[in-house]
Amino acid sequence: MNRSGIRLMAVFLAVCLACGAAAGGPAASDLPAEWLSAWRDPGVGLRPLQIVHGVPAAMQELKDLGLGGIVCNVAFGDYLRSEANWRACVAAVEACAKVGLRVWIYDEDGYPSGAAGGLVLEENPAFEALALAYDPSRADPFVIRTSYEHTHASNNYYAARRYPNLIDEAAVARFMHVTHDAYYQRLAPHFGQTIEAFFTDEPSLMAVNIGPLPEDVRKQVRVVDPLDPNVSPLPSVPWVADLPELYDQRYGQDLLAVRKSLFEGDTEADRQVRRQYWSLVTDLLAQRYFGRIARWAQAHSVASSGHILWEEMLAHHPALEGNTLKMLGCMDIPGLDMLSSNPEAAIHTGWLTAALPASAAILNGRRRVMTEVSDFSETMAQQGPASVADMCATAAWQAALGVTEFTLYYDRRQRTAEQYQSYCTFVGRLNALLHDAQPAPRVLLYYPIADLWSEYKPVAAKLTVETQSQRMRDIVASFISLGQRMTRSQISFALADHEMLAAARVQDGRVCIADHTFDGLVFPARAELPPSASRQVERFESGGGDVLRAVDVKRLKAVYESGSLGEPAERIIVGRFLRGGRSMNVVVNVGADAYHGTMTAPDAARWIAADPATGTMERAASDERGRIVLSVPPRGTLIFVGPARPYSAAFEGAS
C-alpha cells in the first residue's frame, strides 16, 4: 500500500473509531439498539422546549438550534381577543407540525395563571380572590375582603393585576372557557399530535403577604389595577362563599363559630380547626383548579403541566397551595421553577424544588417531570448569562433527581448557535437513557404538611418562617436539613405526606406506594403523624423497616446496592434508575473542583460509563475491590449503566 493509501486507511479507521465511541462502540455493544440510536441522535421528544411568548416565525431555525419544540401562547397584546394574533398562533402551530417540532401551550398572559389576562374578572368582578381577614382592633375582628394588595397578584415581576378565586368553581370555569376552550376551538386537529400539553404558571390561593418587590423592580412592573394605599395588611386566609357549608358537611362543626382559631390559639382544639380548615381548602384547590385542568386535558388528549409558586419555601406551602405535593400530584407532568443555573443550588434548596414534582410523579404512577429552567437569578445579579457548562450541570442534576422535560427561559440570542446546539444535545442524551427509566429511591422523607397546617398562623407582615411558632420553625429546619444531608450523601429519596402513607401498602418491613417500594422512612424533628398514617408506620417498623428521626447515613446507604461513594463529596449528586432490567447511576459534579474517587456497583467491571457532553461510551474502570473508579471534572456528568440482570433481581422490592 502506498503512502496515500495508508493515510486514507488511517483516516478511515479514525472515523470508524470516532463513530464507534459516539455510538457506544464495543463497550456498549450489549445495550439495546434503541438506546444507542437515541444516544447518537436524540429525537425531538428528548430535546428541550423553548418558551416563546407569542410565536416566532422561523421554526426550522429553532429546530436547527437543537430544540425539540416550543412553549407558546397567543400573543399578549389584546390577549385572547385579537383574531390576527389567533391566526398567527395557528400558523405557528402548523409550522411546528410541518417541521416536526412539539408544542406546549402556556395558559396565561404572563403570570400567575388563572386570570386569563383579566378576562375572568371582566366577566364578573365577584370572581375575585377573597380572604377572611382578622383585625383584633375592630369590634367585629373578621372581615371578608378581596385579596390583592400585599399578595403575589400585586407583587410579581410581570404585572400588578387583580386575581380570580381558584377555589370558586364559577371563576375557574370562566378561566377554562376563555383560555383552554378557545385554544381547542382553533387548534383541535393538533391536540394530542403536535400539541402535547398545557402549562399553568404559579397559580396560588393568594391570601398571604409575600412582601413588597424591590423598589427598582416595582418601577418596571406594569400596573393594570391600581393598588389602594388604604388597604392595610392583615392576617388572612383564603375564602369562598360555600366554605362554611362544606366545612360543616365534612366536620360537623360551625366554621364561623371557631374561625378565631385560624389566627390564634395553641390548644389542641385550635390546632384541630386549623388542620381541618387547610385540609378542606387543599381539597377544594385540588378539585376546582388543578383537578379541573387535568380532567379537561385528559378529555382533549393532552397533558396538564406547569409549576406552583415558591416550592423551596416550605413554610409558605399551606398559605399558597394548601399542600404543594398534592397539587403537583394532580398534574400529568408536574413541574418546578429553577431560576438559577448555578449547579450548586442542588445542594441548598434545589433538591426540594425538584423532589416535590418528582415525588408527585412517581408516587402517582407517572414518570414525566417538567422544569422551567433559566439563569434569571444570575441575570438579576448581573452575573449572567450562565455558561454552557453550568447550564448542562444544572440540567444533569435535575435529571438525576427525576426531571425529563426541559422548558427553557434561556435567551438563545446570548449564545452562539453551536453553544445552544451542544446544550440541547446534552439534554437529549440525558433523556436518551433516562427518560424511559424508572427512578429508584428506596428512602422516604416525610413531607410534614399536616403539622404545618396545625401550626400555621397568618400574620399581617411579610410571611417568613421566623413569624411562626417555635415548633413550626423546628420542623421546617429539620426537614430542610434532612433533605440537604441526604442529597449531599448521595441517598436517593422521595417525599410522601400523611395521606400517601395512610394509603400505602405495608408488608414485610417495606412501604409500597404506586410501583415503588421503600425500606427506610425519615421524619423531621417534632413531626406528629395523624392516626391513620401513624398506624401504617408502626406496622412498617414492627416488620423490620427503618424509621429514622435523625439521619444515620450509614444505615440509609446500606439500603442501596450501588451508588455509594468511597470518598465523601458533598457536591456530587447521584440519581438511581432502573430500565430494562439494568441499574443506572447518574453522577453529577455540581462543584468547581474535580472529583476522583470510587463508587459501589455490583459486578463493576461490566458497567458502561456514558458521557452526555461528548457522546462517548466506554467500559467503566474498576479497582481491585470491585468498585467503579470515578473521575468527574467540575460540572461534569457521567451515566453508568449496569449489566442486564434478571427482571426479578433488577426490580427487587418493586410491587
Would 312 be classed as within a structural domain?
no
Those residues with Cβ within 8 angstroms of residue 561's Cβ, 6 or more apart along the chain or in another chain: 583, 600, 602
pLDDT at residue 324 greater than cutoff 60? yes
pLDDT, tens digit (0-9, with 9 covering 90-100), for 25-79: 566 678 999 999 999 999 999 999 999 997 777 899 999 999 999 999 999 999 9
Final residue belonging to a domain, choices 557, 591, 608: 557
The span from the CA of 9 to the CA of 487, in Å, is 50
**What's the burial of 621, exposed, middle or buried (CB within 10 Å: 0-12/13-18/19+)?**
middle
Would 128 be classed as within a structural domain?
no
Both 544 and 602 in a single domain? no
The span from the CA of 292 to the CA of 300, in Å, is 12
* Amino acid making up residue 521: L
The span from the CA of 378 to the CA of 340, in Å, is 7
pLDDT, tens digit (0-9, with 9 covering 90-100), for 165-178: 999 999 999 999 99
The span from the CA of 419 to the CA of 144, in Å, is 53
Final residue belonging to a domain, choices 557, 592, 617: 557
The span from the CA of 7 to the CA of 527, in Å, is 71
More confident residue, 487 or 654: 487
Per-residue confidence (pLDDT) for residue 414, from 0 to 100: 95
Q: By the 8 A CB rule, do 482 and 352 touch?
A: no
Per-residue confidence (pLDDT) for residue 40, from 0 to 100: 97
Number of domains in the chain: 2
Average pLDDT over residues 3-18: 38
DSSP β-bridge partners for residue 582: 579
pLDDT at residue 13 greater than cutoff 70? no
Q: By the 8 A CB rule, do 148 and 234 touch?
A: no
Q: Per 3-state DSSP, what percentage of the chain is helix, strand, and coil (rounded to 5)? A: 40, 20, 40
Both 529 and 586 in a single domain? no
The span from the CA of 314 to the CA of 455, in Å, is 13
Among 19-28, 454-463, 485-494, the minimum mean pLDDT is found in 19-28
Both 583 and 644 in a single domain? yes
Would 241 be classed as within a structural domain?
no
Closest residue by Cα to residue 159 from 47, 53, 303: 53
**610 phi and psi angles, rounded to 5 deg:** -115, 130
Cell of 476: 421546617
* Coil, helix or strand at residue 216: helix
The span from the CA of 471 to the CA of 450, in Å, is 13
| Position 218 confidence tier, pLDDT thresholds 50, 70, 90 | confident
* Coil, helix or strand at residue 197: strand
Both 548 and 582 in a single domain? no
Both 543 and 610 in a single domain? no
Q: By the 8 A CB rule, do 575 and 623 touch?
A: no
Give alpha helix (H) positions in 558-630: none
Which own/partner contact pairs does 34-39 have at CB distance under 8 Å and 24+ positions apart? 35/432, 35/433, 38/428, 38/431, 38/432, 38/433, 39/429, 39/432, 39/433, 39/610, 39/615, 39/617
Average pLDDT over residues 182-204: 98
Both 456 and 511 in a single domain? yes
Look-up: residue for cell 378542606? Answer: 280
Cell of 470: 417555635
% pLDDT > 70, the chain: 94
Both 451 and 520 in a single domain? yes
Final residue belonging to a domain, choices 557, 581, 607: 557
Cell of 304: 396538564
* Coil, helix or strand at residue 223: strand
Among 41-50, 126-135, 642-651, the minimum mean pLDDT is found in 642-651
CATH number for position 636: 2.60.40.1180
Would 402 be classed as within a structural domain?
no
Query: Do strands 405-408 and 49-52 pair parallel, antiparallel, or not at all (unpaired)?
Result: parallel
Per-residue confidence (pLDDT) for residue 52, from 0 to 100: 95
Would 324 be classed as within a structural domain?
no
* Coil, helix or strand at residue 55: coil
The span from the CA of 255 to the CA of 48, in Å, is 48
Per-residue confidence (pLDDT) for residue 216, from 0 to 100: 86
- Exposed e or buried b for every residue in 338-348, given b needs 16+ CB within 10 A? bbbbbbbbbbe
pLDDT at residue 157 greater than cutoff 90? yes
Would 314 be classed as within a structural domain?
no
Both 450 and 550 in a single domain? yes
Both 591 and 622 in a single domain? yes
Both 591 and 549 in a single domain? no
pLDDT at residue 11 greater than cutoff 90? no
DSSP β-bridge partners for residue 132: 144, 237
* Coil, helix or strand at residue 214: coil
- Most confident region among 18-22, 23-27, 151-155 by mean pLDDT: 151-155
Per-residue confidence (pLDDT) for residue 30, from 0 to 100: 84
The span from the CA of 101 to the CA of 48, in Å, is 11
The span from the CA of 480 to the CA of 220, in Å, is 34
% pLDDT > 90, the chain: 91
Mean pLDDT of the chain: 94
For 411-426, the three-class secondary structure string (H helix, E strand, C coil) is CHHHCCHHHHHHHHHH
Per-residue confidence (pLDDT) for residue 197, from 0 to 100: 98
Would 73 be classed as within a structural domain?
no
Closest residue by Cα to residue 590 from 366, 433, 393, 296: 393
pLDDT at residue 196 greater than cutoff 90? yes
pLDDT at residue 404 greater than cutoff 70? yes
Those residues with Cβ within 8 angstroms of residue 99's Cβ, 6 or more apart along the chain or in another chain: 59, 60, 63
Closest residue by Cα to residue 73 from 48, 58, 59, 56: 56
Per-residue confidence (pLDDT) for residue 648, from 0 to 100: 42
Cell of 431: 433523556
Per-residue confidence (pLDDT) for residue 25, from 0 to 100: 58
Q: By the 8 A CB rule, do 119 and 80 touch?
A: yes
Look-up: residue for cell 462502540? Answer: 25
pLDDT at residue 394 greater than cutoff 80? yes
pLDDT, tens digit (0-9, with 9 covering 90-100), for 582-631: 999 999 999 999 999 999 999 999 999 999 999 999 999 999 999 999 99
Q: By the 8 A CB rule, do 251 and 277 touch?
A: no
Both 499 and 583 in a single domain? no
Q: By the 8 A CB rule, do 12 and 4 touch?
A: no
| Position 179 confidence tier, pLDDT thresholds 50, 70, 90 | very high
Look-up: residue for cell 438550534? Answer: 65
Both 638 and 542 in a single domain? no
pLDDT, tens digit (0-9, with 9 covering 90-100), for 560-581: 999 999 999 999 999 999 999 9
pLDDT, tens digit (0-9, with 9 covering 90-100), for 237-294: 999 999 999 999 999 999 999 999 999 999 999 999 999 999 999 999 999 999 999 9
The span from the CA of 644 to the CA of 614, in Å, is 24
Range of the domain at 579: 572-650
**What's the burial of 190, exposed, middle or buried (CB within 10 Å: 0-12/13-18/19+)?**
buried
CATH number for position 474: 3.40.50
Query: Do strands 130-134 and 142-146 pair parallel, antiparallel, or not at all (unpaired)?
Result: antiparallel
Would 493 be classed as within a structural domain?
yes
Peptide bond into 112 cis (omega under 30): yes
